[in-house]
Amino acid sequence: MKNVLITGGAGFIGSNYVRLALQTHLDWNVVVFDKLTYAGNPDNLTDIAKDFKGRYSFVRGDIADREAVFGAVQDNNIDIIINFAADTHVDRSLMEPGAFITTDVYGTFVLLEAAKEFKVSRYHQISTDEVYGDIDEPNRSREEDRLHGSSPYSASKAGGDLMCLAYFRSFNVPVTITRGTNNIGPYQYPEKVVPVFVTNAIDNLPLPMYGDGRQMRDYQYVLDHCEGIDVVVNKGVPGEVYNVGSGVETRNIDVAHAILGLLGKPHSLIQPITDRPGHDRRYAIDNSKVRALGWTPSHTFAQAIEKTVKWYVDNEWWWRKIKTGEYLDYYRKQYAGREVSAK
């Protein structure tokens, strides 16, 4: 059996990955290590705790806490560390950058120290295409491109990536990194654009569209991303970075139209608002390196958005209780007074 520490496993992508890993790796024991911030949600793991009793356990802890991390790695005799834990929302990083530096840079350093001390066989870092900054058409970001983060979030993630590569070069820690594009699918906290738009549209509330809505992102289905991560964890070469994404970009305005079309709601729900400061115009990646390991995405954008919308329609129990209290305070702070008239 292999003992695998999955940090940030109570979040959106982490919980989807934990489910996939336990289904596909029958020789894995998984320990989820998570601080349970506002984005960490035990509901994301309820079925896993039931279905995989015996091969799954949970530790509440902070990746920036050396004692807690070292204790979890030592006590569970960990062979592999996969780090999903991060502060992840660009807009929150513009409001409170400090937490991003603590978790995404310092927390990564603490995990790397544990990987080095306990000689794990693999340390895998979940990173993002945002570290490249935006890129003009028709170019695509490649793994060797320079890092050029535009927000405190992407700069912190870039710092984490550089620390991982330094621990490979200086200390031979067997590190791999994946840089994923925008994920959509089940259990995404309703602060990211797709769950904000879908849950607002269900309730006939405005869809807040930043700027002209022509920014482009590579929206991939979360399970495609998880499969790409898994291929790299198992077949990737230490010291290497792999982009993971569909390779197809969609404008935000077209995402909104697709959601409203699927829900049968009027396009008049789209509410233009003032833009995000430093807003990256276009992300686009070259995914040929991960494809060469045998990975290929299974969902088109149309399939991914349809499955995603259906999940939110079918799982109001999950998101309605989130959209209360702290969330409403955040929403007001983030969006109040930004409305502009449509052109």
Among 21, 64, 78, 81, binds ligand NAD (CB under 6 A): 64
Compute the distance between CA of residue 30 and CA of residue 114 in angstroms, rounded to an integer: 17
Identify whether the C-beta of residue 331 lies closer than 8 Å to the C-beta of residue 95: no
Residue 206 CB contacts under 8 Å (≥ 6 apart), including other chains:
200, 269, 270, 271
Q: Tokens 């259990």 appear where?
A: 187
Picked from ligand DAU, ligand NAD, none, the partner binding residue 215 (CB below 5 to 8 A depending on kind) is ligand DAU
Helix, strand or coil for residue 26? Answer: coil
Closest distance of CB 84 from ligand NAD, Å: 4
- Nearest position to ligand NAD, beta carbon: 11
Which C-beta is closer to ligand DAU: that of 106 or that of 210? Answer: 210
Residue whose tokens read 């790397």 = 112
Rounded to the nearest whole angstrom, what is the least distance from the CB of residue 37 to ligand NAD in the complex? 4
Please report whether residue 158 would count as binding ligand NAD according to CB under 6 A. Answer: no
Contact partner at residue 35 from ligand NAD, ligand DAU, none, CB < 5 to 8 Å by partner kind: ligand NAD
Judged by beta carbon distances under 5 to 8 A according to partner kind, the member of ligand DAU, ligand NAD, none in contact with residue 299 is none
The answer to whether 85 contacts ligand NAD (rule: CB under 6 A) is yes
**Which residue type occupies 38?**
Y
Cα 38 to Cα 12, 20, 61: the distances in Å are 12, 23, 14
- Give residue for tokens 């291929």: 231
Rank residues 28 and 84 by Cβ distance to ligand DAU and give the closer one.
Answer: 84
Site for ligand NAD in 10-39 (CB under 6 A): 10-14, 34-37, 39
Any catalytic annotation for residue 283? no
Q: Which does 126 bind (CB under 5 to 8 A by kind): ligand DAU, ligand NAD, none?
A: ligand NAD
Query: Omega of the bond prior to 297 within 30 degrees of 0, cis?
Result: no
Task: Verify whether residue 129 is a known catalytic residue.
Answer: yes
The candidate with the shortest Cα–Cα distance to 265, out of 312, 202, 184, 210, is 202
- What is the binding site for ligand DAU (CB under 6 A)? 88-90, 128-130, 181-182, 192-193, 196, 208-210, 215, 217, 252, 276, 283
Cα–Cα dist 185/203, whole Å: 19
153 catalytically annotated = yes
Q: Does 269 bind ligand NAD (CB under 6 A)?
A: no
The helix (H) or strand (E) run that includes residue 195 is: helix 193-202
CA 237/CA 214 separation, integer angstroms: 37
SS3 244: strand
* Minimum distance of ligand DAU from residue 179's CB (angstroms): 8
Size of interface with ligand NAD, in residues (CB under 6 A):
30
CB 6 within 8 A of CB 18: yes
Q: Give the nearer residue to ligand NAD in terms of CB position, either 107 or 174.
A: 107
Active site residues: 129-130, 153
